[in-house]
């Protein structure tokens, strides 16, 4: 007890526990937790604690605890020897050289060329399973993520209804190929539908965006979530138009070319579709990377960083937000057409809201605002589960958990993402220093007129 200004204040003398022991405890708990989560036993109606029994009364627990202990030893060594700092200081020169090489336009082009060649050549040596994964998962989600990056990464708008536009694109494709119960005035080749779907989604994006983009951050997220729900309920309930839960009534035809003497039909084979997808992706990425370093991209950054200042300097903020929203939506629609035609069958359940959240997490994982990062992140996170599955590294049911663990670890260790954009890295650093807001999404407006 001590007296401060006449008031008795109790100063709590806590016994100090060695922080290393606390960390050891943390690792052991994590090990035990992972054991609990990966245990195969299921509880019965009479004995709910069977899982706990099976998890902890078995020798396998020891393996997890030992693994936790080893991790603790390693991290403590890392800490004690200051290996992190050591590595940083030792590699400064190398990294600086790497920077200058990486910044050179020639080396950038070479890297790009290498990636493109790899994307063309490598899939041919993969098994049919991996080829299918590449098309159905990797290609689709990379395209979606690149589009969402425009909305979230560049314009700073949190869009949780992104997959609704994916569904709109897919159903547009189904409609114009005559796959829906309601007959179209004319049927089109999927190639022709691509621009049609882009326009449809553009309009849908504008329709949703126009009344809602005055909202900020959390509110916008909720509205877009609602929009997704509306679209999905429409697809489910408007039976005579969409086929309801059963999905399309006839298969959506594949892509085909019949022009200038070139005849080609895409089939169930994965590889041709892969090339179609990366062709589209190349076009989209090319256009978007130009957009990023143009007036439009800079204006988006301005709106994201400080909307009030942007408007005061003549940037029409609502217009640019709407633009980002519409461009993102149309990319999603593009992916929808490709997806519908590739699979041939779609139903409302193909577009759950969790897909939007997955795409968002890929964007954040890869590095918001950086096209390369977003591509790498979404490719990795969609390819990895397939590898887990095929190689039997972890159990099938545990795959989402491991992906979740990767996401959590990544956000703790490297919040800026896999390959962050330089701007984004700076923004995060400024935010951690309390100078600026990292996303400018949650910032309150500087007061609207009380009209």
Q: Which residues bind another protein (CB under 8 A)?
A: 287-288, 290-291, 294-299, 301-302, 305-306, 308-317, 323, 327, 423, 426-427, 430, 435-436, 446-451
Note the Cα 435 to chain centre separation in Å: 27
Query: How far apart are CB 419 and another protein at their closest, in Å?
Result: 17
Query: How far apart are CB 212 and another protein at their closest, in Å?
Result: 18
Query: How far apart are CB 214 and another protein at their closest, in Å?
Result: 11
Query: How far apart are CB 432 and another protein at their closest, in Å?
Result: 12
* Among 34, 27, 30, 35, CA closest to 78: 27
CA atoms of 369 and 186, how far apart (whole Å): 40
Which of 190, 297 has the CB closer to another protein?
Answer: 297
The values of phi and psi at residue 34, to 5°, are -65, -40
CA atoms of 294 and 340, how far apart (whole Å): 33
Which of 134, 323 has the CB closer to another protein?
Answer: 323
Which of 253, 297 has the CB closer to another protein?
Answer: 297
* Among 308, 313, 389, 306, CA closest to 137: 389
263 pairs with which residues across the strands?
258
Query: How far apart are CB 60 and another protein at their closest, in Å?
Result: 48
Query: How far apart are CB 348 and another protein at their closest, in Å?
Result: 31
Task: At 42, list the tokens.
Answer: 């299921």
**Cα within 13 Å of Cα(365), Cβ side:** 24
Which of 60, 104 has the CB closer to another protein?
Answer: 104
Which of 185, 447 has the CB closer to another protein?
Answer: 447
CA atoms of 363 and 168, how far apart (whole Å): 21
The values of phi and psi at residue 61, to 5°, are -60, -40
Which of 265, 295 has the CB closer to another protein?
Answer: 295
Which of 93, 314 has the CB closer to another protein?
Answer: 314
Is the Cα torsion angle 229, 232, 234, 238 positive or negative in sign?
negative
Q: Pairing between strand 262-265 and 7-9?
A: unpaired
Q: Please answer whether residues 173 and 252 qualify as being in contact, where contact means their C-beta atoms are separated by less than 8 angstroms.
A: yes
CA atoms of 420 and 369, how far apart (whole Å): 7
Which of 136, 292 has the CB closer to another protein?
Answer: 292
How is residue 216 annotated by DSSP?
A: -
């Amino acid at each position: 007890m001590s007296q401060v200004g006449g008031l008795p204040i109790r100063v709590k003398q806590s016994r100090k526990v060695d922080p290393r022991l606390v960390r050891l405890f943390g690792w052991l708990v994590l090990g035990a937790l992972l054991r609990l989560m990966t245990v195969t036993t299921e509880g019965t109606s009479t004995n709910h604690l069977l899982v706990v029994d099976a998890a902890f009364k078995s020798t396998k627990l020891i393996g997890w605890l030992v693994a936790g202990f080893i991790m603790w030893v390693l991290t403590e060594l890392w800490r004690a020897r200051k290996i992190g700092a050591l590595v940083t200081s030792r590699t400064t020169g190398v990294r600086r050289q790497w920077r200058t090489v990486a910044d050179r336009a020639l080396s950038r082009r070479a890297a790009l060329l290498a990636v493109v060649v790899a994307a063309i050549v490598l899939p041919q040596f993969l098994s049919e399973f991996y080829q299918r994964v590449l098309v159905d998962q990797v290609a689709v989600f990379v395209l979606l993520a690149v589009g969402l990056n425009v909305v979230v990464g560049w314009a700073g708008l949190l869009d949780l209804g992104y997959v609704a536009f994916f569904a709109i694109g897919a159903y547009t494709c189904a409609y114009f190929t005559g796959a829906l119960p309601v007959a179209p005035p004319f049927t089109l080749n999927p190639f022709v539908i691509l621009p049609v779907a882009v326009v449809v989604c553009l309009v849908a994006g504008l329709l949703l965006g126009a009344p809602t983009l005055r909202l900020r951050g959390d509110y916008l997220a909720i509205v877009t979530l609602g929009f997704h729900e509306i679209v999905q309920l429409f697809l489910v309930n408007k039976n005579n138009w969409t086929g309801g839960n059963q999905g399309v009534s006839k298969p959506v035809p594949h892509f085909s070319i019949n022009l200038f003497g070139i005849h080609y039909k895409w089939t169930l084979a994965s590889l041709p579709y892969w090339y179609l997808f990366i062709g589209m992706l190349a076009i989209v990425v090319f256009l978007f990377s130009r957009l990023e370093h143009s007036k439009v991209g800079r204006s988006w950054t301005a709106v994201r960083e400080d909307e009030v200042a942007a408007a005061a300097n003549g940037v029409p903020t609502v217009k640019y937000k709407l633009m980002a929203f519409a461009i993102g939506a149309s990319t999603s629609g593009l992916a929808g057409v490709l997806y519908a035609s590739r699979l041939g069958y779609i139903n409302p359940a193909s577009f759950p809201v969790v897909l939007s959240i997955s795409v968002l997490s890929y964007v954040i994982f890869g590095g918001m605002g950086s096209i390369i990062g977003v591509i790498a992140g979404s490719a990795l996170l969609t390819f990895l589960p397939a590898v887990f599955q095929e190689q039997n590294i972890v159990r099938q049911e545990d795959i989402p958990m491991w992906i979740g663990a990767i996401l959590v670890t990544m956000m703790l260790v490297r919040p800026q993402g896999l390959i962050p954009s330089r701007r984004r890295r700076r923004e995060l650093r400024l935010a951690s220093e309390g100078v600026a807001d990292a996303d400018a999404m949650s910032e309150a407006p500087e007061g609207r007129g009380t009209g």
